[in-house]
């Protein structure tokens, strides 16, 4: 009888722990497009695209925070019309200029097209999202706290 009670208690405890783990909200970046509904679990990610006038690659580095995101820095090759000139330059190397931005953003709404060749870079992954969507599609990034079961259901991006 004691072994049955111990086994029942262990099973019950295991189910409780499993339920808490599955229901516990996990910080992530929720990405929504006309064709995708997924999450990025990494805290940092980059948005990369080809500038429409200069035809050079730009890269923005984002860090997910408790409420929204921080645009940490921007990498660019040339200054053109509309490029902010009041951000400090962190470094210059091989023609790339890295500017410190440190701007808080509640959510990111990014319009992509095949022309701009938009990519999302996170972890060791590179997602050529502009190739998968109709031109001028909106890609929305929101800070989210999602239970593990829903992350499994939504799936991780890429």
pLDDT tens, position by position, 124-139? 999 999 999 999 999 9
Q: Is 8 helix (H, G, I), strand (E, B) or coil?
A: helix
Q: What is the mean pLDDT of the chain?
A: 89
Section 62-79 average pLDDT: 93
Radius of gyration of the CA atoms of the chain, in A: 21
pLDDT at 1 over 60: no
pLDDT tens, position by position, 7-49? 787 777 766 666 666 668 899 999 999 999 999 999 999 999 9
Q: What pLDDT is attached to residue 40?
A: 96
């Amino acid at each position: 009888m004691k072994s049955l009670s111990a086994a029942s208690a262990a099973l019950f405890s295991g189910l409780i722990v499993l339920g808490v783990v599955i229901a516990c909200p996990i910080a992530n970046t929720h990405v929504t497009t006309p064709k995708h509904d997924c999450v990025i679990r990494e805290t940092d990610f980059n948005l990369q695209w080809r500038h429409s006038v200069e035809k050079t690659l730009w890269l923005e580095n984002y860090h997910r925070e408790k409420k929204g995101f921080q645009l940490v820095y921007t990498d660019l090759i040339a200054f053109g019309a509309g490029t902010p000139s009041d951000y400090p330059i962190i470094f210059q190397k091989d023609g790339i200029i890295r500017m410190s931005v440190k701007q808080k953003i509640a959510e990111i709404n990014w319009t992509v097209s095949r022309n701009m060749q938009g990519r999302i870079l996170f972890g060791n992954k590179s997602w050529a999202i502009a190739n998968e969507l109709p031109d001028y599609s909106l890609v929305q990034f929101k800070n989210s706290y999602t239970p593990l079961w829903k992350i499994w259901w939504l799936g991780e991006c890429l």
